[in-house]
A and B are shown apart, each in its own frame.
Chain A
Amino acid sequence: MAMWITQLFNGLSVSSILLLIALGLSVTFGLMGVINMAHGEFIMIGSYAAYLTQNAFKELLPGRMFDAYFPVALAASFLVAFAIGYLLELLLIRHLYGRPLDSLLATWGVGLVLQQIARSIFGAPNVAVNSPSWLNGGLHVMDGIDLPYKRLFILALVAVCLAAMYLYINRSHSGRRMRAVMQNREMAACLGISTRRVDGMTFAIGSGIAGIAGCALTLIGPIGPNIGTYYIVDAFMVVVLGGVGKLIGTVLGALGIGVFNTMFEWWSTASLGKVFVFLCIVAFLQWKPKGLFAVRTRQLD
């Protein structure tokens, strides 16, 4: 019994992590259609931003104030990834709209360059980020069931990000402009929306969210130049399964993959579990090639 609850929680937790790494991609790939292979490297940028913030706090505000670094690191990760994303869109991505294969190769190259830059600056070995002490330990529910605070924190963080994104896309002016441009660029431009600015902003937001994911991942995983490569496949899997362009699809995609992966892994092994999940996804996409939720448009694309 305790085992089942623990595994269910683990499944949820894995789902929340998948969702966090896929959220940014659901914007850059889902909404904008850029096959963004550098997405993993934006996660990496977020992680290193958290590392630098931590170091700054260690240097300047040691002692009790140190624990306050984490919220600052979350903001810093978002801003740094946001800025680099904006720059990348300005210099490269905007020349590649509507050319999926070129954007795939170009962003992959950018990813490699970013990895190498990180390796030159921070070195090839992993760096350590100390978690804030208020996230150590866990919630003791009953005998044999401890829910780690870090996992709960990530669940909450995902919920907040999701809510913020939903509100931004559906309720704010700039969010409406964003949707207008993504759905019908010419019409939006005719109505006086600066599509250039919207494109830049959208890509930067997607990158910024990847940065937040990177910061959160410092709590549970390694921080090194390669970490982007560990998450990129999962991120694409979630978005493709969920159906491009729909937030709810991404959420359900992450939930499905996370829970099934955890269960399969429990019954078999880590490698085999992944194989089963891939098989299920392939089978599902045969049945519904557009994923769980497809955007219905009048456009023939």
Chain B
Amino acid sequence: MEDGASDWPTFAEKARKLLSEDKVATVFGGWTSASRKAMLPVFEELNGLLWYPVQYEGLESSPNIFYTGATTNQQIVPSVDYLLEQGKKKFFLLGSDYVFPRTANKIIKAQLAAKGGETVAEEYTPLGHTDYTTIIAKIKEAKPDVVYNTLNGDSNVAFFKQLKDANIAASDLTTLSVSIAEEEVKGIGPDFLAGHLVAWNYYQTTDTPENKTFVENFKAKYGADSVTSDPMEAGYTAVYLWAAAVEKAGSFDVDKVKEAAKGIEWNAPEGKVTIDGDNQHIYKTVRIGEIQPDGMIKELWNSGSPVKPDPYLKGYDWAKDLSAGS
């Protein structure tokens, strides 16, 4: 186990150490897109295997990475569709200034343009930005139907605290966030977040027998106060998928495991997931949820069945120009 210290070069360095010195069979980890992008060349060069458990901006498919978090067509694209169906046409895009929000918003803008929505403003704040009064004033001025929020980490705390101070409740302004899960709700305080929307593939409240066991075991190990969330579930799933692939391959060899992993199915807490052999992402069910006053997230809508991963959005006409640029 190594700690990347949230420092991108450190991630690459530690990944190299794990692969070339410790000769590990596989690595589970990475958090921000930047950390993944830093490790990617190392894994490709040394033919390692990385399981990346976080939702991300898509437009990537490395032969040495398995992506168990959602790609865009399993989180962002359906959530925008959901909002459009609810009659929300005018979008205010707010994000932290780095690769994930910028790419996500590029996709959202193309999608809105094609489907009759409108981007009224697009704002980015530096990572770690803590004063949102001006942004909130801009939101008031722009009068959007919905704020699509791709802020990262601590900025979310400041944004939602200050939004409430500005006397704007979830009933006045819909927001949909893609980086706030149960763990983050706990750190911000559910008071500030109740009624706001999120999009993920899994919630602690997701109703499957596997999830009941998962939550019970998790609480038994980490205490009754602990909560499970989407990235945790994706990380947990990754370990089981790798184990299944190794068993099927009968070997720890990276190429054999990769070959064996194709089409493996597993009943995860989020429901059935399947590894897509073509792009090494997994089929996942999409879920839109509403944050509750007790800190849990209530599912409002789901995609019914697992959605086939499409990291380059090839199945969407309006997205044709997007993948070309990257």
Q: Which residues of A contact B (CB under 8 A)?
A: 3, 6-7, 10, 13-14, 17, 125-130, 136-138, 144, 146, 148-151, 219-224, 226-227, 229-231, 262, 265-266, 269-271, 273-274
A-B pairs with beta carbons under 8 Å apart, 6 shown: A126-B157, A127-B187, A148-B162, A151-B133, A224-B187, A270-B129
B126 touches A271 (CB 8 A): yes
B158 and A271 contact, CB distance less than 8 A: no
Cβ of A138: which chain B residues have Cβ within 8 Å of it?
Answer: 165-167
Which among A13, A136, A221 is the interface contact of B157 at CB below 8 angstroms? A221
Report yes or no: B131 in contact with A128, Cβ–Cβ below 8 A: no
CB distance from B203 to the nearest CB of A (A): 17
Q: Is residue B188 contacting chain A, with contact meaning CB distance below 8 A? A: yes
* Distance A270 CA – B159 CA, assembled complex (angstroms): 13
Q: A151-B165, A222-B158, A270-B124 are in contact. Are A128 and B187 (CB under 8 A)?
A: yes
**Given A222-B154, A224-B154, A226-B128, are A13 and B133 also a contact pair (CB < 8 Å)?**
yes
Contact A130 B187 (CB under 8 A): no
Q: A129-B189, A271-B125 are in contact. Are A221 and B158 (CB under 8 A)?
A: yes
A138 nearest CB neighbor, chain B only: B167
Chain B, Cβ-Cβ closest to A264 = B134
Q: Please measure, in the bound complex, the distance between the C-alpha atom of A175 and the C-alpha atom of B171, giving whole angstroms.
A: 52
List the A side residues contacting B167 at CB < 8 Å: 137-138, 146, 148
Report Cα–Cα, A3/B138, bound state, in Å: 9
Which interface residue of A129, A136, A230, A273 has the most chain B CB atoms within 10 A?
A: A230
Is B135 interfacial (CB-CB < 8 Å)? Answer: yes
Complex CA gap A6/B140 in Å reads 11
Q: A7 vs B126: C-alpha distance in the bound complex, in angstroms?
A: 20
Considering the complex, give the chain A residue whose CB is closest to the CB of B161.
A220
Complex Cα spacing A137 to B167, Å: 6
Whether A126 pairs with B161 at a CB distance below 8 angstroms is: no
Beta-carbon contact of B128 and A125 below 8 Å? no
Q: Which residues of B contact A6 (CB under 8 A)?
A: 137
Q: Does B97 contact A (CB under 8 A)?
A: yes
Asked whether, in the complex, the Cβ of B189 is within 8 Å of the Cβ of A128, the reply is yes
Q: A10, B158: Cβ atoms under 8 Å?
A: no
Q: Does B123 contact A (CB under 8 A)?
A: yes
In the bound complex, do residue A148 and residue B187 qualify as a contact, i.e. CB atoms below 8 Å apart?
no
How many residue-residue contacts, CB under 8 A, span A and B? 103
Q: Is the CB of B125 within 8 A of A270?
A: yes
Which residues of the other chain, B, contact A125 by a CB distance below 8 angstroms? 183-184, 186-187
Determine the chain A residues whose CB is within 8 A of the CB of B165 once the complex forms.
Answer: 138, 148-151, 220
The answer on a CB contact under 8 Å between A148 and B189 is no
B191 at the interface (CB under 8 A from A): yes
In the bound complex, what is the Cα–Cα distance between A200 and B138 (angstroms)? 46
Beyond A17-B131, A226-B154, A269-B123, 14 additional pairs, beta carbon < 8 A = A3-B141, A7-B134, A125-B187, A126-B154, A126-B157, A129-B189, A138-B167, A148-B166, A148-B167, A150-B165, A220-B161, A222-B187, A223-B187, A270-B135
**B130: Cβ under 8 A from any A Cβ:** yes
Bound CA span A16–B184, Å: 28
**Chain B: minimal CB distance from A215 (Å):** 15
A150 to B192, CA, bound (A): 14
Residues of B within 8 A of A274 (CB): 126
Docked CA distance A231–B124 (Å): 19
In Å, the complex CA distance between A150 and B140 comes to 19
| Chain A residue at smallest Cβ distance from B6 | A226
* Contact partners of B130 in chain A: CB under 8 A: 220-222, 230-231
Task: Across the interface, name the chain A residue whose C-beta is closest to B133.
Answer: A10
| A6 CA / B137 CA spacing, docked (Å) | 8
Q: Nearest residue in B to A230 (C-beta to C-beta)?
A: B128
Q: A222 and B189: CB pair below 8 A?
A: no
Cβ A265 vs Cβ B187 within 8 A: no
Nearest neighbor of B122 in chain A, beta-carbon distance: A269
Q: Which 8 A-B pairs have the closest CB atoms?
A: A126-B187, A222-B157, A128-B189, A148-B165, A222-B154, A10-B133, A270-B125, A265-B134
Evaluate contact between A266 and B138: CB separation under 8 angstroms: yes
Which residues of A have CB within 8 Å of B129?
230, 270
**How far apart sit A226 and B129, CA to CA, in the bound complex (Å)?**
12
In chain B, positions 311-325 with a C-beta closer than 8 Å to chain A are none
A138 to B169, CA, bound (A): 13
Q: Verify B189–A270 contact, CB threshold 8 A.
A: no
Bound-state CA distance A127–B185 (Å) is 10
Tell me how far the C-beta of A46 lies from the nearest C-beta in chain B, rounded to whole angstroms.
15
User: Which residues from B are CB-within-8-Å of A273?
Assistant: 134
B294 to chain A, nearest CB (A): 13
Chain A neighbourhood of B162, CB < 8 A: 148, 220
Complex Cα spacing A269 to B101, Å:
15
Chain A hits for B191, CB < 8 A: 130
A139 to chain B, nearest CB (A): 10
User: How many Å from the CB of A218 to the closest CB on chain B?
Assistant: 9
| Contact A270 B187, beta carbon cutoff 8 Å | no
Residue of B nearest to A125 (CB): B187
Min CB–CB distance A138 → chain B (angstroms): 6
**Which residue of chain B has the shortest Cβ distance to A144 in the bound complex?**
B140
A136 contacts across to B, CB distance below 8 A: 164
Q: CA–CA, A292 to B203, complex, Å?
A: 54
Q: Which residues of B contact A10 (CB under 8 A)?
A: 133-134, 137
Provide the residues of chain B in CB contact with A129, threshold 8 Å: 189
Give CA–CA (A150, B188) in the complex, Å. Answer: 16
- State how many angstroms separate the Cβ of B1 from the closest Cβ of chain A: 15
Bound Cα distance A119, B141 (Å): 39
Which of B130, B183, B188 has the largest number of chain A CB atoms within 10 A? B130
